[in-house]
Structure 1
Amino acid sequence: MLREYKNDRNHKIDVESLELEDDLSYPEGPVKITGWKEKQLRSKVIPSVKVVWQHHNVKEATWERESEMRDKYPELYFRKECYQ
């Protein structure tokens, strides 16, 4: 069922601050880690981190696998301002 859209200031992106690629995409990287959790499966534990991304607010943070974040963004784990 469709609903009426309610305007939210958090849905807007400041286009002047974006550097667009040729295909009109823009690079996004992690800004900080705001949480940790472990998911227990039958035979193993999967650690996850909650990541805030560039050009997004804290409400839009996503849970990502810790191993993938360490591989892609190792510098994120060495900056003190990335942890809260």
Structure 2
Amino acid sequence: QMTKSGKYKPLFHRPFFKEFAVTSDVAPAEIGKELRKAEIIGGYDLGNSYPQFEGGILYAVTEKRTKEEIDKLVSVLEGI
């Protein structure tokens, strides 16, 4: 869902299971700040550990998250 609008693009074009990385024109720190305002813990800024993936954000979505929580994440991301 996150990539449908074009605001977020997959960092890797491979199948994934529960964890995926995206890039955006918005800085990961700014995205994290906006997610925290919505009481959502955001993804991991890959540039912190992997300079070659600067601007990449790793998200993990597991069975511990409800559909409503995931929909809220997507909704907030679309508004950034």
TM-score range, shorter chain: under 0.3
Q: TM-score, normalised to structure 1's length?
A: 0.27
Q: TM-score, normalised to structure 2's length?
A: 0.28
